[in-house]
Amino acid sequence: MDTPSREIFWSIHYGWVVYLLAGAATLILIVAVLRRLRLWLAGRKDDTFTDIRRNTREFVRIAIVDGLAHKRILSDPYPGIMHALLFWGALLLLLASVADGISHYLIEFLRGNTYLAFSFLADLGGVMMLVGVGMAVYRRYVKKPDRLDSIASDSITLGLIFVVLVTGFLLEGARMIAAEAPAAWARWSFLGYGFSRAFAGSSMIGWYQGLWWFHAVLVAVTIGYVALAFPRLIHIFVAPLAVLLRAGGKRGALETIELQEVERPGFATISDFHFRDLVALDACMECGRCQEACPACSAEKPLNPRKVIQDIRARMVKEDMLLARDGMSTVGQDLVALHVGEEEIWECTTCGACRNICPVYVEHVDMLVGLRRSLVEHGQVFGSLARSLEGMCLLGNPWSEPQSQRSDWMYNLDVKLPEEAKASSLLYWVGCSGCYDPKGEEIARSMVNILNTADIDYFVLGFDEVCCGDPARRAGDEGLFQHLARKNIDTLHKYGVICVLTHCPHCYNTFRNEYPDLGGSFRVVHHTEFILQLILDGRLEVRDLKQRVAFHDPCYLGRWNGIVDQPREILNKISGLSLIEPPHNRERTFCCGGGGGQMWIEGAPGKRVNRVRFEEFSSTGIQIIVTACPFCKIMLDDASSTAGAGGSEIRVRDIAEII
Amino acid sequence: MRIAVCVRETLYPGVPYEVNTETGVAEQKEPCPVYWLPTHDRCALEEAVRIREALGNSEVIAFTVAPTRASDSLYRCLAMGADRVVHVVDEEPDTSTSRVVAMILGEVLKKVCCDLVLCGDCSFDAGACQVPQHLAALLDVPQVTRVLDVQMLPGQKRLKVVRKLERGNRETVECSLPAVVAVDSALNEPRYVSLHACYRAVRARGSDYEVDADTARSVGSEHRNLRVARFIPPRPPVKKMVMPDMKASAADRLKFILSGSSAEKMSDLLDGTTDEVVRQLIGILQREGFILTQKS
């Protein structure tokens, strides 16, 4: 024994039994996953497989960035590091086992220094996992954050992993003593060596053999447990699949339903969900990041995205059990939405904070809107929202204001209407908020002033404009959305519009991401991009503003469409202005509470989301909140004017108003 | 059990309109007139659908006496849950009085034999509140108006309803069936009908849509004598102007007038559960003298 190495199955009789054990455990696991697969396949599979082929490249990118490098997971430090230790540790151990197998059965390469490196890395992996388990136990049972629900299977899983790891090291130590391995190279397996020092002097061969079998059986038991109980640990297998199915999905666009073909749109039963949604339900291991990011949840409202996903999952599992017992599906019995809770479903602002932070790429917003669609089809719409939708249906805007007053905001302003600007292909899309809400009108008027000052060739539709349909779609009335969208697309084609400029991120998102599905492909520009370009081209001069200012990222601009730098660049061009970042900024912004039809939902329980956000701002000691969305402006201004008696000194402005 | 619901679409009230002083007909300034099913009528239909859902083995039929353009509203009725709709085409609605409408409806309803007739108790445009009464008289059945709650009594041949009286008083009455029940808009919250559901009704339920082209022409023509002699538009409401504070600077006063705002608004946001908010609201109203504290 001159060169460092290790003999597999050293002094173990009937070692091949371990392969039987492992095989049996793996078989159980495969059967369990296949059984689950049958349940997932109850969902709709349209496009799944073409999507997989198309998205492979994106999946590989995510697998490297978010899988191996843990980018998204590490964004939350403590649980991120905990998971990274467990993941990388397990990965090292897995690689060690594979190397061991290759060395034993194929090419013997684990000799000499290679072996020393191997044993060091394997021990390092084990130690990392042990530390990870320790961190997990401390967090789950000592710190007990709100977002974690601890159930029995968590303790069992952690316990099994812990015992497997510890017996592994003890076994290593016992082997070293029993085999009288020279200390010079046993030291490389540092933890095992440590144990061997602790028990040095006694004959450990019996212990070694006992521990060996105990360890091997326990590993098989762990795999069997994961297969049979489907604890959170199953995400090892399901999460990559869920991510593969999600990768490359369109950002900011909800699913377009072919209404001619679908009898009842929406997720009424489990079989209405997509295959990928059902897989994602099982991939969710309730880390609770969505719960922490959710504005409704932070405002103590009943909605909790984690609970929503788990409720749907519980429904799915129940359906599976009924399927197994009765041999027939109970599909079509009752709405999944009622299982989740109507109140929860109508609380969502569709801000996307949850789906943006989810480490396994669950699309909470898609599912919630799908549930809303099923509720709408059954006539169950939150009271005040129903009136807004009706207004959109009858009059073309959610404010229920007459179409004949759509151009009132232009009063006393030099606005170019289609008749006057035949040659222009640039449309300034004002949107309902710019036409009907006083706070929105101010933005539209500032915008027109900017366009006129910079001498831009543009035009405004005036009476021909109707709502872009965003509130209808997010509220679940897909038919109304498509009706409005088609109307707008026809109008825009009639006037030969190529480029659409808008100051509303909701309109922007709808035009850019959702209209192409309905045959309306236009170049869409948000006014922050446009103003920045004007400034860079020297066509627009900015005023001075000696104020402390914070920028509030609108969800549909920053998070859904990734426009976060342009508004900041504009603000940095203003001399005298000092820009202060609130705690939630850029892609991790906190919703104003106005999206997803929430603008028209009154009297919901809990705190008001706009107030929560406003308090965050007022604690930073700023004078002006600048935003780039009429909805955010309205919501935050409301919060400002009702903060305490007589309102707050903090003013809320759109970026177009301070240039 | 067969339930008839009488509905009629009217101009949507949220849109500015002008009344033609010659003919007395309201005209909207919109690109095209906006019609809707008024809340009262939808409440009546909703109640009928709920009764059917509770009893089972029932049929809900919606009737309207209206021009051809009303078909959209009738498809909406189908989407809301009516089993069948009957469209009695009347191309001259402006000349027909409540009496004529009731006679036409009566003629049609006699053929159908309904156990219960539900109507909205007041139309949104004319607001005469007469059709249900006329209809009950013509059908020779009892009638109840301003109904806030409808309960079918066991045995299904009697009805217990709550009526709305003045000043918050309520009256509970029982009546035998068949009957005409005119409902108040506070009866229930009508279900939401998506546009898709309406389209689906148009596409798939043409067979449930009956058109009656003759009855309106043959019945009640002698009563078609409504002629508007003169229409006096209401005086425009007096607009209150608040004078700006004279102590403010000229620029501020100018801004004040231009913005049209009144004095600094007092604003406060009441937070908490519904109960707490109501309590706080009562406190404010009492403090400001809008309501007086009751002395026992």
DSSP A477-502: -HHHHHHHHHHHHHHHHHTT--EEEE
Q: Which residues of A touch B189 (CB under 8 A)?
A: 383
Tokens of A20: 């039987």
DSSP string, B218-240: HSSGGG---------PPPPPPPP
Residues A181 and A6: their CA atoms lie apart, in Å, by 10
CB within 8 Å: B31 and A608: no
**Which of these, A562, A558, A569, lies nearest to A532 by C-alpha position?**
A569
Residues A463 and A401: their CA atoms lie apart, in Å, by 12
pLDDT digits (tens, 9 = 90+) for A420-429: 766 678 899 9
**Which of these, A3, A32, A500, A598, lies nearest to A294 by C-alpha position?**
A598
Phi–psi pair at A351, nearest 5 degrees = -70, -20
> Which pLDDT does position B227 carry in this prediction?
78
Torsion angle, alpha carbons of A440, A442, A444, A447, to 10 = -140
Q: What is the DSSP letter of A419?
A: T
Which B positions 186-225 lie with beta carbon below 8 A of chain A? Answer: 189, 191-200
CB within 8 Å: B29 and A404: yes
**pLDDT over 50 at A1, yes or no:** no
**pLDDT over 70 at A332, yes or no:** no
Q: Do residues A591 and A635 make contact, with C-beta atoms less than 8 angstroms apart?
A: no
> Which pLDDT does position B148 carry in this prediction?
93
> Which pLDDT does position A328 carry in this prediction?
53
Most confident of A194-208, A588-602, B40-54: B40-54
In three-state secondary structure terms, A50 is helix
Largest CA distance in chain B: 77
Residues A357 and A355: their CA atoms lie apart, in Å, by 6
**pLDDT over 90 at A533, yes or no:** yes
Residue of A nearest to B16 (CA): A402
Tokens of A619: 């604690």
**pLDDT over 60 at A652, yes or no:** yes
**Which of these, A625, A652, A597, lies nearest to A440 by C-alpha position?**
A652
A180 vs A543, more confident? A543
In three-state secondary structure terms, A525 is strand
Tokens of A35: 């059984």
> Which pLDDT does position B267 carry in this prediction?
60
In three-state secondary structure terms, A589 is coil
Average pLDDT over residues A377-384: 85
Residue type for A125, please? G
> Which pLDDT does position B263 carry in this prediction?
46
Buried/exposed A498-513: b ≥16 CB within 10 Å, e otherwise:
eebbbbbbbbbbbbbb
Q: Which residues of A touch B268 (CB under 8 A)?
A: 642, 645
In chain B the domains, ranked by start, together with CATH numbers, are: 2-218 (3.40.50.620)
A569 vs A261, more confident? A569
> Which pLDDT does position B5 carry in this prediction?
95
Q: Which residues of A touch B266 (CB under 8 A)?
A: 646
Pairing verdict, β B116-120 and B179-183:
parallel
Per-residue pLDDT band at A106 (split at 50, 70, 90):
confident
Q: Which residues of A touch B195 (CB under 8 A)?
A: 393, 477, 479-480, 483
Q: Which residues of B touch A374 (CB under 8 A)?
A: none
Buried/exposed A621-630: b ≥16 CB within 10 Å, e otherwise:
ebebbbbbbb
Lowest mean pLDDT among A190-194, A469-473, B78-82: A190-194
Average pLDDT over residues A267-293: 89
Average pLDDT over residues A376-392: 87
First to last CA, chain A: 79
User: From the list A380, A394, A483, which residue is nearest B34 (CB)?
Assistant: A394
Residue of A nearest to B35 (CA): A394
Residue of B nearest to A377 (CA): B194
Which of B47, B196, B203 to substitute to test the interface with A, most A CBs within 10 Å? B196
CB atoms within 10 A of CB A286: 20
Q: Do residues A218 and A164 make contact, with C-beta atoms less than 8 angstroms apart?
A: yes
CB within 8 Å: A395 and B12: yes
pLDDT digits (tens, 9 = 90+) for A564-588: 999 999 999 998 889 999 989 888 8
Residues belonging to chain A: 659
Q: Do residues A589 and A617 make contact, with C-beta atoms less than 8 angstroms apart?
A: no
3-state helix, strand, coil in chain B (%, to 5): 35, 25, 40
Which B positions 31-50 lie with beta carbon below 8 A of chain A? Answer: 31, 34, 36
Q: Is A463 on the interface with B (CB under 8 A)?
A: yes
Q: Is A386 on the interface with B (CB under 8 A)?
A: yes
Q: Is B251 on the interface with A (CB under 8 A)?
A: no
> Which pLDDT does position A284 carry in this prediction?
92
Q: On the CB side of A288, how many CA atoms lie within 13 Å of its CA?
A: 12
Lowest mean pLDDT among A94-98, A457-461, A587-591, B214-218: B214-218
In three-state secondary structure terms, B164 is strand
Per-residue pLDDT band at A326 (split at 50, 70, 90):
low
Which residues face B179 on adjacent strands? Answer: B116
In three-state secondary structure terms, A189 is coil
Residues 6+ apart with CB under 8 A from A324: none
CB within 8 Å: A477 and B194: yes
User: From the list A386, A463, A605, which residue is nearest B31 (CB)?
Assistant: A463
Average pLDDT over residues A372-389: 88
Residues 6+ apart with CB under 8 A from A164: A215, A218, A219, A222
Tokens of A339: 């299982």
Pairing verdict, β B17-19 and B26-28:
antiparallel
Q: Is B16 on the interface with A (CB under 8 A)?
A: yes
Residues B120 and A252: their CA atoms lie apart, in Å, by 44
Of all residues in chain A, the percent with pLDDT exceeding 90 is: 40
Q: Which residues of B touch A611 (CB under 8 A)?
A: 269
Average pLDDT over residues A205-221: 89
> Which pLDDT does position B146 carry in this prediction?
93
Phi–psi pair at B211, nearest 5 degrees = -110, 130
Q: Do residues A283 and A230 make contact, with C-beta atoms less than 8 angstroms apart?
A: no
**pLDDT over 90 at A473, yes or no:** yes
pLDDT tens digits in sequence order for chain B, 296 residues long: 899 999 999 988 888 888 887 777 788 877 778 899 999 999 999 999 999 998 888 999 999 999 999 999 999 999 999 999 999 998 888 778 888 999 999 999 998 888 899 999 888 888 888 999 999 999 999 999 999 999 988 776 889 999 999 888 999 999 998 899 999 998 988 999 998 889 888 988 888 998 988 888 888 788 887 777 888 877 877 766 667 777 777 777 777 777 665 445 556 667 777 788 888 888 888 887 787 766 54
Residue of A nearest to B259 (CA): A438
Q: Is B231 on the interface with A (CB under 8 A)?
A: no
Residues A640 and A620: their CA atoms lie apart, in Å, by 14
Token look-up 């603008």 returns A599
Q: Which residues of B touch A647 (CB under 8 A)?
A: 267
**Which of these, A549, A474, A557, lies nearest to A509 by C-alpha position?**
A557
**pLDDT over 60 at A633, yes or no:** yes
CB within 8 Å: A402 and B29: yes
Alpha-carbon gap: A368 to the closest alpha carbon of chain B (Å) = 18
Burial (CB count <10 Å: 0-12, 13-18, 19+), residue B236: exposed
Alpha-carbon gap: A443 to the closest alpha carbon of chain B (Å) = 16
Which of B194, B255, B273 to substitute to test the interface with A, most A CBs within 10 Å? B194
> How many degrees, rounded to 5, is the angle at CA B110 between CA B106 and CA B114?
105
Burial (CB count <10 Å: 0-12, 13-18, 19+), residue A107: exposed
> Can you give the pTM of this predicted structure?
0.89
* Chain center to CA of A14: 49
Alpha-carbon gap: B63 to the closest alpha carbon of chain A (Å) = 22
Where helices occur in chain B by DSSP H, the ranges are 39-55, 71-80, 98-112, 131-139, 195-204, 215-218, 250-259, 274-287
User: From the list B15, B16, B196, which residue is nearest A265 (CB)?
Assistant: B196
